[in-house]
């Protein structure tokens, strides 16, 4: 293909990875830090939300890696 195609592929992968980082930071680290600081009571909901966001962030990251396979030499 072309250099433009490769740059578009890299941009798409970067976007997906950025979304994954945001999901991880807000959905996983946020509730954990809130529980440690005592602003949210310990319970089943925040750890469940954190686990679900961890999985979603991992899936988005793997999707970004798969998009990078579209790069052409």
- Name the pTM for this structure: 0.85
Reply yes or no on whether the pLDDT at 40 is more than 90: no
Predicted confidence at residue 31, as pLDDT, reads 84
Mean pLDDT on 19-41: 89
Residue 71 backbone dihedrals phi, psi, to 5 degrees: -65, 145
Predicted confidence at residue 59, as pLDDT, reads 98
DSSP notation for 44-67:
SHHHHHHHHHHHHHHHHHHHHHHH
Label residue 7 by pLDDT band (50, 70, 90): very high
Mean pLDDT on 20-30: 94
Q: Are the beta carbons of 60 and 17 closer than 8 angstroms? A: yes
């Amino acid at each position: 293909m072309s250099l433009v195609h490769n740059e578009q592929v890299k941009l798409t992968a970067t976007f997906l990875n950025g979304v994954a980082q945001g999901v991880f930071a807000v959905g996983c680290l946020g509730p954990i830090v809130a529980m440690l600081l005592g602003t949210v009571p310990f319970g089943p909901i925040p750890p469940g939300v954190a686990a679900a966001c961890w999985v979603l962030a991992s899936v988005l990251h793997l999707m970004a890696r798969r998009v990078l396979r579209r790069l052409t030499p």
